[in-house]
A and B are shown apart, each in its own frame.
Chain A
């Protein structure tokens, strides 16, 4: 009896495993930076390149880093969601303008509206590399302790904002 059941059990396990695999998105690579110290940077501000913003300036507060570029089509798709998040005035939303022409970036913000408290220029993508950015847009949630608590890859939708990012922010804000 057990002999005839064993292959069936193995088969069922395989089906379960493969079924689960189908629901995963291979494009979303888990970041090794979660719960690690946010990589530091000190970059010129897009609004005024003579001034710099560094991660140290944000220490002690919960903040969001949104990686965007004017050439990035999905950034336009998530723009209204980021705007909605910034409009709630819960946390500082910093933009990391990734591998972009600052003039194009400024134009883009003028055209669609600027949701960011400040955007910094990462012209050669070196800071993006430190943050493990591989597909724009990406959004990071950083806690008051300076640790990265959440990373969203790809455009943030209203749904992912409410279901993933907001709960994380609320938890961090206490």
Chain B
């Protein structure tokens, strides 16, 4: 039972690595790099938490083939990305483009950090709160301290 469970766990890990096994012939090392980068950055819409490289879904296979064909026709990686976005939307991109609708997405974390830093600095710089003390009580306390010293 334990062995079976272990095998199951291992199996789960092995599958993604095996998925993209089409043997494509690349015209140049650059094309191969582009291809691998693209299928790494494009999301499979069927199994949404996998990229094209890691998915064995039919659609992923088709999109890998399309990517390969487009590169072979001399299209640039940007054109491939454009092609995918036009059909499936920004969701296919694991790395969203930097444009007005995604400004918040890209800059949000930094804004948040700046905000927190600002609050932190403000708090650290702020002088200790002045405690209002009754003048009479203060004189009395001083006297007590002085008396205490002279007693020693």
Contact = CB atoms under 8 A, between A and B. Distances in A.
A31 B46 contact: no
A125 to B, nearest CB: 6
Interface stretch (B14-22, B24-32, B56-64): B56-64
A31 B58 CA distance: 20
A45 B109 CA distance: 52
Interface stretch (B2-10, B80-88, B131-139, B141-149): B80-88
B12 to A, nearest CB: 21
Q: Do most interface residues of chain B lie in helix, strand or loop, or is the interface mixed? A: helix
Interface stretch (A51-59, A75-83, A127-135, A162-170): A127-135
A27 B87 contact: no
Interface residues of A, number: 16
B48 A132 contact: no
A129 B63 contact: yes
Nearest to B87: A132
Contact of A32 (B58, B62, B63, B85): B85
A62 to B, nearest CB: 23
Nearest to A130: B87
A152 interface: no
Interface residues of B, number: 15
A129 B66 contact: yes
B11 interface: no
A27 B48 contact: yes
B46 A135 contact: yes
Contacts of A129: 62-63, 66, 87
Nearest to B65: A124
Interface in B84-126: 85-91
A143 to B, nearest CB: 19
Contact of B89 (A27, A32, A99): A32
A5 interface: no
B62 A29 contact: no
Q: Do most interface residues of chain A lie in helix, strand or loop, or is the interface mixed? A: loop
Given A134-B46, A135-B45, A135-B46, A125 B88 contact: no
Nearest to B89: A32
A134 B91 CA distance: 12
Nearest to A134: B45
Interface string A109-143: 00000000000000011000111101100000000
Contacts of B59: 125, 134
Given A134-B45, A134-B46, 20 more contacts: A29-B45, A29-B89, A29-B91, A30-B91, A31-B88, A31-B89, A32-B85, A32-B88, A124-B62, A125-B58, A125-B59, A125-B62, A129-B62, A129-B63, A129-B66, A131-B87, A132-B87, A132-B88, A132-B89, A134-B59
Interface of A: 26-27, 29-33, 99, 124-125, 129-132, 134-135
Interface of B: 45-46, 48, 58-59, 62-63, 66, 85-91
8 contacts: A27-B48, A29-B91, A32-B87, A125-B59, A125-B62, A129-B63, A132-B89, A134-B45
